[in-house]
A and B are shown apart, each in its own frame.
Chain A
Amino acid sequence: MLYLRLSCFLLHVLVVFGTELTFELPDNEKQCFYEDLEKDVKFDIDFQVIAGGNYDVDSFVTDPLNNVLYNEKKKQYDSFSHTTAMKGVYKVCFSNEFSTFTDKTVYLDFRHGDEEPIIQTMTAPVALTQLESSCVSLHEILKVVADSQTWYRLREAHDRTKAEHLLERVTYWSIGETVLLFVIGIGQVMMLRSFFSEKKGSVAAPT
């Protein structure tokens, strides 16, 4: 019976609830995601802007009664946690409406813990042997390592995008300035020559 309970416990612990999405947000648009949650569920929202313009986005979170739980403008990355007070559809929106021509790429991580009550009714933690409890703690630590890797991967993507933009801009500016230099250099000489060509008659007179 204990073995049975343990198996149920372990199998439940193995399931992870959460959604990670990286999506493109075109300029002047808003994108909303909805999640149906029970009462007294803790959810975490993490988002980061990884490409586009000034790497910032407006975001807000509302509960089923349209009360605003979180509202921030022009943030590059942020984290928001909340325990639901009622059952219903919670909405998280990202808005790029302040931007006229830059598309943004936003990473969103929405985690919620629906399964926790089930684990508590199944078995008490004291039933685990030392081996099993070290497996559980290893699993938790590895989850933290994986999350940390995701964080660094996003920061690196952000920095790499910036570096690639810089390279592009330097290239275009170099070409543009070369052309500009030649045009101005030759243009100045041509204009000067044209000044003196017109006044040829009047200049020649004094000598």
Chain B
Amino acid sequence: MVSVRMRSCVLSVLLLNVFYNVVSSLYFHIGETEKKCFIEEIPDETMIIGNYRTQLYDKQREEYLPATQGLGMFVEVKDPDDKVILSRQYGSEGRFTFTSHTPGEHQICLHSNSSKFALFAGGLLRVHLDIQVGEHANNYAEIAAKDKLTELQLRVRQLVEQVDQIQKEQNYQRYREERFRQTSESTNQRVLWWSIVQTLILVAIGIWQMRHLKSFFEAKKLV
């Protein structure tokens, strides 16, 4: 009896959360041929889930309505080495997932696949976007149902995931610090060498100029 009620409670909570995720997200406007890119700097083996929903401005009703089925968004994800790891077209509502294999800045780009300029009718497309990274991407209601966890076990599982994410981020920080240090040391070296080389060049040019002019004037019998 209790388990049935609990299950219905879990379902209602799940539905509520889904509802909230669909309704409450940040949105922005995108032009017809415009490409909007977002950068996510993440450690490796981190999952990213992106949800988007589009709305098109309807001139007759003067409000934003869900876009027609033909209008889709093209999603392209590039990894830190500029290699494309996801390049797919989704419908007017979509959900894309990818897991990073190298740490660094990943670029998520969205643009509409509309080729008919009349479709936008001079208006803009409204895109609701929600990107969840790492531990936030986990769907705990689903995990609880699948592994049949009690609430306390679920809570502990979430803590474990959070700590995992923190540890990955710290490893990434060590990697970034090394890169930063290499850049600084390169700069230091280059400045040092450049100062020495510049001094030598100046002295050499000075000497060459004087000797050349002296021989020139001697040849002209002015000295």
Residues in A lying within 8 Å of B, measured CB to CB: 3-4, 6-8, 10-12, 14-17, 19-24, 31-36, 105, 110, 112, 114-115, 118, 131-132, 135-136, 138-139, 142-143, 145-146, 149, 152-153, 156-157, 159-160, 163-164, 166-167, 170-171, 174, 177-178, 181-182, 185, 188-189, 192-193, 196, 200, 203-204, 207
In the assembled complex, B156 has its CB within 8 A of some CB on chain A: yes
Name the contact of A11 in the complex, choosing from B41, B151, B162 (C-beta under 8 A): B151
Query: A185 and B24: CB pair below 8 A?
Result: no
Structural contact, B156 and A135, CB atoms closer than 8 A: yes
Q: Does the CB pair B26–A160 fall under 8 Å?
A: no
Contact for B222 among A152, A177, A203, CB less than 8 A: A203
How far does the alpha carbon of A106 sit from the alpha carbon of B144 in the complex, in Å?
A: 36
Give the complex CA separation of A115 and B155 in angstroms.
18
Complex formed: what's the CA distance from A135 to B156 in Å?
7
B2 lies within 8 A of A181 (CB): no
Q: Is the CB of A115 within 8 A of B20?
A: yes
Q: Is the CB of B159 within 8 A of A174?
A: no
* Nearest CB of A to B166, in Å: 6
Q: Give min CB distance, A83 to chain B, whole Å.
A: 16
Interface residues on B, range: 35 or more
With A20-B133, A164-B183, A170-B190 given, is the CB distance from A156 to B177 under 8 Å? yes
Would A20 and B159 count as touching, CB distance under 8 A?
no
Give the contacting residue for B6; candidates A4, A35, A115, A132; CB below 8 A.
Answer: A4
Q: Give CA–CA (A156, B172) in the complex, Å.
A: 12
User: Which B residues fall within an 8 A CB radius of A?
Assistant: 2, 5-6, 9-10, 13, 16-17, 20, 23-29, 36-41, 129-131, 133, 135-136, 140-141, 144, 151-152, 154-156, 158-159, 162-163, 165-166, 169-170, 172-173, 176-177, 179-180, 183-184, 186-187, 190-191, 194, 197-198, 201-202, 205, 208-209, 212-213, 216-217, 220-222
Contact A142 B201 (CB under 8 A): no
The smallest beta-carbon distance between A124 and chain B, in angstroms, is 16
Chain B residue at minimum C-beta to C-beta distance from A136 = B155
* Main SS class of interface, B: helix
Q: Which 3 A-B pairs have the closest CB atoms?
A: A185-B205, A22-B39, A174-B194
Give me 14 other A-B pairs in contact (C-beta within 8 A), A16-B136, A36-B24, A156-B177 excluded: A3-B6, A7-B6, A10-B155, A19-B25, A21-B131, A22-B40, A115-B20, A135-B152, A139-B162, A149-B173, A163-B183, A170-B187, A170-B190, A182-B201
Give the residues in chain A near B184, CB-CB below 8 Å: 163
Q: Is there contact, CB below 8 Å, between A14 and B140?
A: yes
Contacts A23-B38, A160-B180 given; does A7 touch B10 at CB 8 Å? yes
With A and B bound together, what is the CA distance between A54 and B216 in angstroms?
52
Residue of B13, B26, B173, B198 touching A19 (CB-CB under 8 A):
B26
With both beta carbons as reference points, the residue of chain B lying nearest to A114 in the complex is identified as: B24
- A146's partner among B5, B140, B155, B162 (CB-CB below 8 A) is B162
With A24-B37, A159-B180, A181-B198 as given contacts, are A34 and B24 in contact (CB-CB < 8 Å)?
no
Task: With CB as the reference atom, state the residue of chain A lying closest to B39.
Answer: A22
Cβ-neighbour of A15 out of B20, B39, B222 (below 8 A):
B20
Q: How far is the CB of A53 from chain B (nearest CB, A)?
A: 17
Which residues from chain B contact A204 at a C-beta distance below 8 Å? Answer: 221
Residues in A with CB closer than 8 Å to B220 are 196, 200, 203
- B133 smallest CB distance to A (angstroms): 7
> Which residues from chain B contact A181 at a C-beta distance below 8 Å?
198, 201-202, 205
Query: Known contacts A167-B186, A192-B213; is A4 also within 8 Å of B9 by CB?
Result: yes
